[in-house]
Structure 1
Amino acid sequence: MRIRATVATVTAAALSAALAVTALAAPAAGAEQDDTPTQIKNIEVNQNRDYTVVVEAARKVKFPISALVHDPSGIKSVSFSLQHGATEAEVDGRIAQVGPSRCVKVDESWSKCEAVMIADPYTNVRSNALAGAWGINIVAVDGEGNVTREDYMPLARIKRKTHLSLADATPEPVKKGKNLTVKARMIVASWEKHKDVPLIGHQVLLQFRQGASGPFKTLKKVRTDRNGWATATVQATVDGQYRYDFAGTSLTQARSGLADFVDVK
């Protein structure tokens, strides 16, 4: 009987669960044992959207997680979970799959296994401190009841949703060579308050493009104030669009705001 854990972050609870599954799935006495390690690859979180899940302030988000799993004796079951914390001793958040995984055979020994997870600001992501990198834990049971556990730390990323308002350029219209003030507001989901709050002290880029098409060029770097507002003054030269752009962080979603077209007289 084989129980295999590939990272030293296996918990006592997880090991006990693995032992229980193994005991239930044990082959008959004298049966030939499969000692070939189960292989796991091609892990995808949220359909591989950069392994990132974005969560709003007061709304749960459902997302898929999947992997290709291989064993000569076949795959009986696979379970997924996410955990937040650099080491097992520092784990302060867990997200378990909802319901059983679904495994579909790709060929005689490989199966694609997928499960559904839910990140909920009212339950498993109740603190803003839980934004960032999450480890992925996978437990696979092969056709003979052998258990393999793989830990990937970190791989997934759960971020707070952001919103960047439409830029407001004043005065409009503006005379050529005169100053133009451009403002926009940045807010971010608070999983603790269950509402959007100002994103304070973060850098956003004031950008401009001539006319109504083509790439935007960065004019200035601005930091948001205590109310989330970004304000910058530029000299008006030609007609075009102004917007703010936020590159995002390891904890917050990237966002581009809508542009304001300015007519220069």
Structure 2
Amino acid sequence: MRIRASAAVVGGALALSTLAVPAAQASGSEGDTRITKVVVDGDDLVPVGTSAKTFEVSVTATDDSGIKGADAFGLHGPGGGHASTGRPTCTQLDATTSTCTASVTIDPKADHLTDANAGTWYVDARVDANDGGYDDKENAHSFSLQRATRITTADATPESVKKSGTVTVTGTITRVNWETLRYEGYRSPDVSFGFRREGGSTYVPLSTVRADSQGHLRATTTASLDGSFRFAFPGASTSARSSGAGDSVDVRGTTAGAPTAVAHGAPHPLDVTFSGTRLNDGKNIVVGTQTPKKAAVSFTLRHGADVDIHAPDFVVGVELYRGGSLDEAYALLDDAKPSCVDSPASPATLATCTATVTADPAELRNEMAGVWKTGIYAIAFNGQDRNHPQDASQIGLAKRDSAKDFALQRFTRLTADAAPEPVKKGRTITVTGQITRASWDDGKYHGFTSGTPAKLQYRKKSASSYTTLKFTGQVLDGGHVTATTPATYDGYYRLTYPHSWITPDVASAGDYVDVR
């Protein structure tokens, strides 16, 4: 790297000049020599902290006569940054193709690296063929020279929390300043806030947060399962990716699902499969503010003749969860143990299993509304203690992720008031209403604004069904809805609102109008 600060001050800012910059060469080629691939440091990302960083540049080229060699690769980027690799070593892949690799070291101390040098850099490469052909490319490839970042170990509080309680997680992200050679608070773009279920291997993103000017991170979530929380930065063109260590939280009042209980070992596959899952009679689960909602679950379990599903150490379970799979669930709505009834065939290798799951509004938060999954598992502990199995290899495990997806929705109310009553034929009828939705956070109903319009519907006094007259337009602040229509015949007017992942279909009661 060759960047130096000059003694000249231009317009109040310190001007940068470069020393020992290679003379520019024109791109061009001769013959059928072609550069086909360039890779920098394996993934085209070069993070640099406060110490020297050595990385490789690999250029693959082809020619009918084979590749003879390559010149040192030139690198250049923002802030007047220039660097050059050593002489490449070429490795023949086949008779016509070789990969030429060379390394380069960038030292933020010796090279006087500045923050302005971070960003997109380019590789200039020339490769020569055995028959005299060559390919010389400026900007043959781009890569990112990044300022290294660090994220502290997350601090989750409280570390023992009741199910559905609030967990607050804090941390700090810093980024290297190449000019001071220190890490400083970084007001970063989106940082991922993730959760890893106890026994799982992967952090599942819950949300994104942004740091303040000092790099402080803060996120809140609802406690559902035992596990760990952490922050991770995905990186940007000028800033390297990083992740902090996780902090675990013990959630009281939860029962760990059976798949998690054996996740640390290596259970063998169990000859059990699941099919025909049905939840809540095919409907979504809608929950208000007071009464727990119970929903029936049924499925078919098929098993090998040597599997005793009625043994005392055989467990079948149903979990309503969020996450990529049962193992990586980050939220649990309920965990039920079904009862299974054998088919009349002999030997019985087919059973119908039923269970009841419960969604209790006292354990829900508004953020939990949306898409959920139904998972099913079966475990044969084969004589071992269910809670403390000693030999995981003796355990049989079968499971099915996403056996049935459904929406957990907040119960919604809609009113309608048609006026005037009575009204002269041809005059305008105004129908007003309000749409309110259950809040699981405070146990009350609140109106909400929505860009999705409601519908105004009408049923003639002598008719049995409603017809749609018009859309009402946007649902205004507080959930207020207004629509007008000419009066025609005696009849009923009502409002309806369509479903979403968090809101069910809802229709008001009809309001009768006498048209004179």
1:194 aligns with 2:443: yes
Secondary structure, counterpart of 1:252 in structure 2: coil
Deviation of 1:161 (Å): 0.5
- For the structure 1 residues 16 and 187, does the alpha-carbon distance in structure 2 shift closer, same or farther, using more than 3 Å as the test? closer
- Rounded to whole Å, the distance in 1 between the matches of 2:260 and 2:431 is 59
User: Residues 111-122 of structure 1: matches in 2 within 5 Å?
Assistant: 111-122=351-362
- For the structure 1 residues 142 and 61, does the alpha-carbon distance in structure 2 shift closer, same or farther, using more than 3 Å as the test? same
Match of 2:389 in 1: none
Match of 1:3 in 2: none
Q: 1:62 aligns with which of 294, 299, 304?
A: 294
- For the structure 1 residues 252 and 246, does the alpha-carbon distance in structure 2 shift closer, same or farther, using more than 3 Å as the test? same
Q: 1:110 aligns with which of 341, 346, 350?
A: 350
AA paired with 2:456?
Answer: L
- Rounded to whole Å, the distance in 1 between the matches of 2:514 and 2:420 is 10
AA paired with 2:511?
Answer: D
Deviation of 1:143 (Å): 9.6
State the Cα deviation string for residues 127-172 of structure 1 (Å, max 9, x = none): x12111111221113596621011117612211101112x211111
Match of 2:333 in 1: 95
- Rounded to whole Å, the distance in 2 between the matches of 1:11 and 1:212 is 61
Q: Which runs of 4+ in 1 moved over 4 A?
A: 12-16, 19-23, 86-92, 142-145
Deviation of 1:66 (Å): 2.3
Unaligned 5+ segments in structure 1 are 1-8, 27-34
Deviation of 1:121 (Å): 2.4
CA RMSD in angstroms, aligned pairs only: 3.0
Moved more, 243-252 or 139-148: 139-148
Deviation of 1:88 (Å): 7.5
- For the structure 1 residues 63 and 20, does the alpha-carbon distance in structure 2 shift closer, same or farther, using more than 3 Å as the test? farther
Deviation of 1:44 (Å): 1.4
Match of 1:5 in 2: none
Match of 1:18 in 2: 262
TM-score by length of 2: 0.43
State the Cα deviation string for residues 62-105 of structure 1 (Å, max 9, x = none): 2222211010234243111111245779854212325x321111
AA paired with 1:93?
Answer: A
Contact 1:77–1:101 under 8 Å retained in 2: no
Moved more, 64-73 or 208-217: 208-217
1:43 aligns with 2:280: no
Secondary structure, counterpart of 2:261 in structure 1: helix
- For the structure 1 residues 220 and 242, does the alpha-carbon distance in structure 2 shift closer, same or farther, using more than 3 Å as the test? same
Deviation of 1:230 (Å): 1.0
Contact 2:376–2:403 under 8 Å retained in 1: no
1:231 aligns with 2:482: yes
Contact 2:458–2:468 under 8 Å retained in 1: yes
- The count of residues paired between Structure 1 and Structure 2 equals 241
1:163 aligns with 2:163: no
Match of 1:204 in 2: 454
Secondary structure, counterpart of 1:122 in structure 2: helix
Contact 1:74–1:143 under 8 Å retained in 2: no
Secondary structure, counterpart of 2:338 in structure 1: strand
User: Residues 117-128 of structure 1: matches in 2 within 5 Å?
Assistant: 117-123=357-363, 125-126=364-365, 128=366
Unaligned 5+ segments in structure 2 are 1-196, 202-255, 383-394
- Rounded to whole Å, the distance in 1 between the matches of 2:272 and 2:403 is 19
Match of 2:497 in 1: 246
Deviation of 1:262 (Å): 1.1
Q: 2:371 aligns with which of 133, 136, 139?
A: 133
Match of 1:78 in 2: 316
State the Cα deviation string for residues 3-61 of structure 1 (Å, max 9, x = none): xxxxxx993585552369998xx9xxxxxxxx773110111112x233x1111123322
- Rounded to whole Å, the distance in 1 between the matches of 2:456 and 2:279 is 32
- Rounded to whole Å, the distance in 2 between the matches of 1:246 and 1:194 is 22
- For the structure 1 residues 19 and 131, does the alpha-carbon distance in structure 2 shift closer, same or farther, using more than 3 Å as the test? closer
Contact 1:58–1:195 under 8 Å retained in 2: no
